[in-house]
């Protein structure tokens, strides 16, 4: 695929605090790429720099081969859909979508053709004369998307556009956005802290933390092959335990030796071992490679979520088998359930379910959203 945007060693600070720390990223034509991370990781600032709303302190923004650091937003082939839609309440649906075309002095007949086509694409054909204030949140979202796409930008920026919608509507809009992106062939750059949203919609995910890119890859790669404890913990649930890589395809943890599929580590190298909760098999204690006491069980609908104390480390296990609080169980692990990572600055910070991380507090702090 052709590169449409290149970010080269971008750094940005606010009031002496580094928000982006030398990030580099290639974005390709017709790609749905998601910037994913907790509040304050730098994802929104990255989006604003691409859109021209912020200027990098260091580094270059290249758009189709040309440096655009100082090009103002209205002269970039980029449009933005904001979290709060930014619709004009005094205009009806048609006029909201037509607004950018009227600003460019497009002929009236062409405006009608383009607006009608956009409204059809977002399934709002019969809503042209409706006031936007009478629409539901999902309908307003689609009007905002139609307005952003009507003049055919090369790139569409989406800053947490689904955050204000309820859960069912969010899931519906995830599918709609992906469908719209495929139909238009426009590059979508999507910002979210919702891991499920990123996994379900993206061609490429960029995981960010503290102003740095931690990993870039497909949803499958990011989920199955996280590069460090932060990524493993942030993308889904993970049990992350200390281990020793004895040799290729053999690792020791929890006092036992397990076969795995990883190689290329030094003999007896300390490593982080990742086991997803859904990959743990529950067996009778006497048949388990590891054994522990079930300290809590939560019914999640399609499965039970159990916390199991194994040698003082609290594991999360997701299972459809019946499991009861206070029971003693064994667990087994297939080689493909075990993923080995090198030790990193994040080692020891995640993966034990004795307590929850500070992530919930960060996400509920409105001040942390200001300078992402």
Report whether pLDDT(264) > 90. yes
- For the chain, domain boundaries: 3-224, 229-366
User: Dihedral through CA 353, CA 232, CA 329, CA 283, nearest 10?
Assistant: 170
CA distance linking residue 230 with residue 181, whole number of Å: 29
pLDDT at 163: 78
Same CATH fold, 229-366 and 3-224? no
The owner of tokens 């499965």 is 303
| Residues contacting residue 148 through CB under 8 Å, at least 6 positions apart | 79, 80, 81, 156
CA distance linking residue 223 with residue 281, whole number of Å: 19
Provide mean pLDDT across the span 286-307: 95
Q: What is the DSSP string of 301-353?
A: SSSEEEEEEETTEEEEEEESS---TT-EEEEE--GGG-EEEE--TTTTSSS-T
pLDDT at 289: 95
Per-residue buried b or exposed e for 67-93, using 16+ beta carbons within 10 Å of the residue's own CB: ebeeeeeeebebbbbebebebeeeebb
For 15-32, write each residue's pLDDT tens digit. Answer: 999 999 999 999 999 999
pLDDT tier for residue 10 given thresholds of 50, 70 and 90:
very high
pLDDT tier for residue 213 given thresholds of 50, 70 and 90:
very high
How far from the centroid of its chain's Cα atoms is residue 323's Cα?
32
Report whether pLDDT(361) > 80. no
Q: What is the 3-state secondary structure (H, E, C) of 42-78?
A: CHHHHHHHHHCCCCCCEEEEEECCEECCCCCHHHCCE
Report whether pLDDT(47) > 60. yes
What is the homologous superfamily of the domain 3-224 according to CATH?
Answer: P-loop containing nucleotide triphosphate hydrolases (3.40.50.300)
Element (H, E) at 288: none
Q: Rounded to two decimals, what is the model's pTM?
A: 0.86
Report whether pLDDT(86) > 90. no
Contact 308, 314 (CB under 8 A): yes
The topology under which CATH files domain 229-366 is OB fold (Dihydrolipoamide Acetyltransferase, E2P) (2.40.50)
């Amino acid at each position: 695929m052709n590169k449409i945007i290149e970010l080269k060693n971008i750094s940005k600070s606010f009031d002496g605090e580094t928000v982006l720390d030398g990030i580099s990223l290639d974005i390709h034509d017709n790609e749905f790429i998601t910037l994913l991370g907790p509040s304050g990781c730098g994802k929104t600032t990255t989006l604003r720099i691409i859109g021209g709303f912020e200027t990098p302190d260091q580094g270059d923004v290249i758009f189709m081969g040309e440096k655009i650091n100082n090009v103002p937003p209205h002269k970039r082939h980029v449009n933005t859909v904001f979290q709060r839609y930014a619709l004009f309440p005094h205009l009806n649906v048609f006029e909201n979508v037509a607004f950018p075309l009227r600003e460019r002095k497009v002929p009236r007949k062409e405006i009608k053709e383009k607006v009608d086509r956009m409204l059809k694409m977002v399934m709002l054909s019969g809503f042209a004369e409706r006031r936007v204030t009478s629409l539901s949140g999902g309908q307003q979202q689609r009007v905002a998307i139609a307005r952003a796409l009507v003049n055919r930008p090369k790139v569409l920026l989406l800053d947490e556009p689904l955050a204000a919608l309820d859960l069912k509507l969010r899931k519906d809009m995830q599918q709609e956005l992906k469908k719209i992106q495929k139909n238009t062939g426009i590059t979508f750059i999507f910002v979210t802290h919702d891991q499920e949203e990123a996994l379900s919609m993206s061609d490429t995910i960029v995981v960010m933390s503290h102003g740095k890119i931690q990993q870039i890859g497909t949803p499958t790669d990011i989920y199955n092959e996280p590069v460090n404890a932060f990524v493993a913990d942030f993308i889904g649930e993970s049990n992350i335990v200390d281990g020793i890589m004895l040799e290729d395809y053999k690792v020791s943890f929890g006092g036992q030796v397990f076969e795995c599929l990883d190689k290329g580590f030094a003999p007896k190298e300390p490593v982080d071992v990742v086991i997803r909760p859904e990959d743990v098999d529950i067996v009778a204690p006497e048949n388990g490679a590891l054994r522990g006491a079930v300290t809590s069980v939560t019914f999640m609908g399609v499965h039970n979520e159990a916390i199991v104390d194994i040698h003082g480390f609290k594991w999360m296990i997701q299972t459809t088998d019946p499991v009861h609080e206070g029971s003693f169980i064994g667990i087994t692990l297939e080689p493909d359930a075990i993923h080995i990572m090198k030790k990193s600055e994040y080692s020891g910070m995640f993966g034990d379910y004795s307590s929850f991380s500070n992530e919930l507090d960060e996400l509920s702090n409105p001040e942390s959203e200001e300078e992402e």
